[in-house]
Structures are given as structure tokens and as C-alpha cells.
Structure 1
């Protein structure tokens, strides 16, 4: 190939290469990052229940439709885990209320006892009130509690009787549920309240 022909081909190829690079660059710039999927998306967690509040008034799962929900199963006679978990949860939620007041209004934190034999409506109401007015405490018959716990895949088992009473083994999870009642994420109640606040801000829009 002579020098003239080679020069001609290079002149033709160069603009095409530059155009291709520009096209790919523009395409890359125009691509939008995909939204992160909720960690619990599609999980079989959550479902209908009928329990009672501190006043003995019936409360059903469907009553919260259209609202975000935080659900935690525990018991008021718990010596350490439940108080620590709920304190972390509600402190984080309190921070979220201050940083995102509008979004926080759409969230309902819920505590459901796994020990209805001792956790009467009055006991649950007094216990949850210690963590703030926004926390709703629920109890019911053993059958009602069993049904709610099964719907949320919450594990619990009664321990042996002792002179000081019995303890309950149980899972320690705070579920964040969306306005349609679908599971979204597990809140990091084992971390500082700031972590709970950040996780709420990430999903509650």
C-alpha cells in the first residue's frame, strides 16, 4: 500500500473511531443507576393479625394499611435484650423524627408481646410508654399471639420455671414493612441509634 492510500484510510478511520468513543461515552453518562432492591423483598414475612392495645381495643394489621410499620416481638419481663433493642429502635426513630418529620409521621412502631400470660394490656401499655408515645404495644390471647408471630417468622419458646419466674427465648428482629404491608428491611437495632435513623431514611420516602 502506498503512503497516499494509507494516509487516506487513516483519515477515514480516525473520525469513525472518535465518533464511536463519543457515542459510548454519552451512553454511559445517560445511564441511570438502578435503585437498590429492599433486602427483604419477596420474603414471606408479615400477615393479618388481630390483637389488643393498652385499652383492650382490638387492633388489626389491616388498620395500618397505607402506613410504614416497624414490628418487634418481645416481652416486658425480659431482663436485658428487649429493653436494649427497643431503646435503640426508638432512639433511632426519634432521630429520624427530627431529621425527617414528614416521613416519620407515616411510620408506626409496634411492639408485640410473646408472653401474653403476664403481659396484660395494662402491663404492655405501661412498658411501651417508657420508650415514647409513638410506640404501640399489643397483646392478646395465646392463640392470637401465636398467629401474629407465625406470620412474621418470629421465634420464641418459654424457658423453665424458676424462683424468679421464667424467661423467654426469642428472635430479636425489628422489621420495617412498607405501606402495603410488605417486608423491606431489618433495622440495625444492635448498632447505634444513628444506624437505625440511616436505615429508615434510606427506605421511608
Structure 2
């Protein structure tokens, strides 16, 4: 009996064990198949996954191409330097223009201050005669083209030293101004009309600059002209015909602008270079009256007020 039971129980156990084995085998085969599928999907060890760049090195919204990045940077740098260069050029030009215009306006205001208002301070109507016998008046000091300045000197041909020195200086100034492109009309007016006839003046001035115009006239005409320009002169009383004498007179050059207005005087203490430079500055600063009015009413009118 016992042997049967054991056999039966053992057979039952074997049946149960075999059934358990049968039930485990499908699970093992499925698990093996799933692992094989996963291994096939994995990339091979030779192909490394791409590494992400650090965020600090990747431009937001930019192109990842380094060559394009460099090109864009060079273009921006070039544009920046170009803008700076343009700014420097135009800024320097503007500064230079306003400095020059400021100096020009300063000279212009100085000329305006010397212009006659009401009763003329220096200058005015006069009538004389040149060495060719032609009439010469204050109107001859006006240049129709509004370019030429005039410079007047009062003296006499028998002057021993001062007049020759000043006329030599005048010649040097005229040469310098001619090289600088400043047109001038030099005029010598005698304070001794009794001896300085047109012929005497013509011969005397030939030893100096050829462009100097000599003027003379009657005693009253000369006296009137000297009075208009505030020139002091005197001759000794009771002079006999043929007697030598000296004439005391003012020693100044009188600068007249192209519109016939008095500008300034150049004294004896000023050298030829200083005198020419002074005249050149006035010539550059000169603005005709009509143009001055237009500028005052224009865009930069505040500079001229």
C-alpha cells in the first residue's frame, strides 16, 4: 500500500513539476525575445551619442556655423569703425567751420564798430586828382565786385625818412597780400599840394610799388580830405616860394573795405608781416551788407546777431 501511495504521490509530484516547468518556459522565451529586441535597438558602442554644447557657447537664435559667426562679427566691427571714422571727420569739420566762422564774426563785428553811424567818424566825401589828371573821389574806393580793399597813406614827397620807410613797408605788404590772393588798391595822398604836383608824385612813387596811386589837389581839397580821415598835418607859416620845409602829419595806414567804409588803421609800429596778416584777416571776414542781412534772416541767423 505504501509503495503505491508513494508511487502515486511521486507521479503526482512529477506531473505537477512538469506542469510548472511547462508554465515557466513560455515566460522565459518571451523575456529572452524582449531582451534581444532591446539589444538590437541599442546603438553600437562605436557610435557615441552627440554631446550637447554648453549653453554659454551657443548663441541664442544664432547660426551654429562658426564661419558664419566670424563673418558677421567682422562685418559688425567694420561697420562700427566706419561709423566712428565718419563721426570724427564730420565732427572735426563742423568744429573747424564754427571756429573759423566765430573768428570771422569777431572780425566782422570789429569792422561794424568802426563804420560811420550818423556823422562819419573816419572817411567821407572828398574830391582829388590822380597823377594822370583824372578825378578821384570817395566813390573810387568802392569796388563793384566787392572784393578789393583800399589802403590810404597821407604824406609828402619831400619827407626825408618816415614816408620812404612807410612806403617801402607798404610795398612789402602789397606783395604779400598779392601772393595770398587779397586784391588791394594802394593810395598815396599828399599833405603838401603846393610842391606835390601830379608830375612830381608820379616820379616819386615810381621808386616804390608800381601799383600805388598818387593823389593831389588844391590846398582846400587836400585839407578837406585830411579832415574827413582825421589826419593831422601842418606847414610852417610864411614859407617863401622855393624855400625848403617839412610838413608835420599823422603816420597811419587807413584800411577801407570794398564798400568804401573805414575798417581800421595800421600804425608805424606794425611790421610788413603783421600789417599784411591783419589786412588778410579782415579780407576773409568781410561780408557785403546785403549778404549779412540774408545771413541774419537765415538758418544760422543767431550767429550774426
- How high is the TM-score relative to the length of structure 2? 0.52
Match of 2:115 among 22, 32, 42: 42
Match of 2:150 among 60, 65, 69: 69
Match of 2:269 among 162, 168, 190: 190
Greater percentage in helix:
2
Q: Distance in 2 between matches of 1:92 and 1:188?
A: 13
Q: How does 1:12-23 map to 2 (within 5 A)?
A: none
Q: Distance in 1 between matches of 2:243 and 2:164?
A: 18
Q: Distance in 2 between matches of 1:171 and 1:74?
A: 8
1:144 match: 221
Is residue 126 of structure 1 aligned with residue 203 of structure 2?
A: yes
User: Does the C-alpha gap of structure 1 residues 165 and 92 become closer, same or farther in structure 2, counting only changes over 3 Å?
Assistant: same
- Is contact 1:50–1:59 with CA below 8 Å preserved after alignment? yes
Q: Distance in 1 between matches of 2:141 and 2:170?
A: 19
Match of 1:155 among 229, 232, 235: 232
Return the offset for 1:31.
7.5
Match of 2:163 among 48, 68, 82: 82
- Is contact 1:111–1:135 with CA below 8 Å preserved after alignment? yes
Q: Distance in 2 between matches of 1:62 and 1:51?
A: 11
- Is contact 1:88–1:190 with CA below 8 Å preserved after alignment? no
2:59 match: none
1:58 match: 135
1:175 match: 254
Aligned residues: 173
Structure 2 residues without counterparts, runs of 5 or longer = 1-94, 285-305
Deviations 1:127-167 (A, max 9, x none): 12211111101001101101111111100011365996110
2:281 match: 202
Return the offset for 1:83.
0.9
Structure 1 residues without counterparts, runs of 5 or longer = 1-28
- Is contact 2:251–2:267 with CA below 8 Å preserved after alignment? no
Is residue 91 of structure 1 aligned with residue 163 of structure 2?
A: no
- Is contact 1:69–1:110 with CA below 8 Å preserved after alignment? yes
- How high is the TM-score relative to the length of structure 1? 0.76
Q: Distance in 2 between matches of 1:90 and 1:72?
A: 12
SS at match of 1:76: coil
Indicate the structure (1 or 2) with the bigger Cα radius of gyration.
2
- Is contact 2:123–2:262 with CA below 8 Å preserved after alignment? yes
User: Does the C-alpha gap of structure 1 residues 164 and 178 become closer, same or farther in structure 2, counting only changes over 3 Å?
Assistant: same
Q: What RMSD, in angstroms, separates the aligned Cα atoms of the two structures?
A: 2.3
Return the offset for 1:52.
0.9
